[in-house]
Amino acid sequence: MASFDPRRLDVAAFAAEEGELAGDAPASAMPRLGSATLAPVDGSPRADIRWRVTGKRLPLESAGVRPSLLIEASTEVTLECQRCLQPMPMTLRAERRIFFVDGEDAAAALDAESEDDVLALTPALDLRSLVEEELLLALPLVPRHEVCPQPLPFGDDDPEVQQADHPFAALAALKQGSRPN
C-alpha cells in the first residue's frame, strides 16, 4: 500500500487503494474552528481534533464510479448559548461522504442534483482543511442548552419586568372600565 500525505492527498489514488488515514490534530491547526468557538471555561487548552478519512471508489448517480472520501471527525468545543448567553461545552461530530469528479462545472451540476456532496478533483487535497470545513458545517446554527443552567435574565418573576409597563396593560384597563350597553 502506498504512503499518502494528508497535507497533499492524491484523492484518486487514495480511493483506488481504499486507503485510510487517521490521527489527532491540535486545535491550533484549525484556526477557523478556534475563532468560531469559545475557549474552554476552565482555562484548559482546547481539545485535539480526532479524525479519520477512508477512500473508496463508489457509484455516483449520473457520474458512474467516482473517487470518494468518508470523513469522520470529532472534538470538544465550547459555544455560547443563544438563550442564556452562558458557555456551553459540547461534543462536535462530523461525518460526511464526498464524491470527486473532473472539473468545477461538473461538480457544481452534480452537487445541485445529488444528495451527496460533490467536489472537483484536484491533484493534491489538504485533508486538514477539509476536516476543518466539515467541523465548521457541523456547528449548530443556534447553539443553546436543552435546559439553561441558570434562570434567564428578565423572566416573568424578575421584579424589573413586573414593574415595567406591559404593552397591552392600558388596553386591558380600558376594556375592564367600559361595559357594553
Model pLDDT for residues 114-132, shown as the tens digit of each residue: 888 999 999 899 999 999 9
In a domain, 158, yes or no: no
pTM: predicted TM-score of the whole model, two decimal places: 0.78
Residue 4 is assigned to a structural domain of this protein = no
The whole-angstrom separation of Cα 50 and Cα 127 is 13
Residue 40 lies in a domain: yes
Q: Is residue 122 part of a domain?
A: yes
Whether residue 152 contacts residue 144, with contact meaning beta carbons closer than 8 Å, is answered with no
Q: What pLDDT score does 62 carry?
A: 81
**Could you give the number of structural domains in the chain?**
1
Domain with 32 in it: 11-151
Q: What is the DSSP string of 22-87?
A: EEEE-GGG-HHHHHHSBPPTTSPPPPPEEEEEEEEEEEETTTEEEEEEEEEEEEEEEEE-TTT--E
Cα dihedral value 17, 2, 130, 98, nearest 10:
-10
pLDDT in tens, 52-61: 999 999 999 8
Q: Does the residue 129 lie in any domain?
A: yes
In a domain, residue 133? The reply is: yes
Q: Answer yes or no: is pLDDT of 165 > 90.
A: no
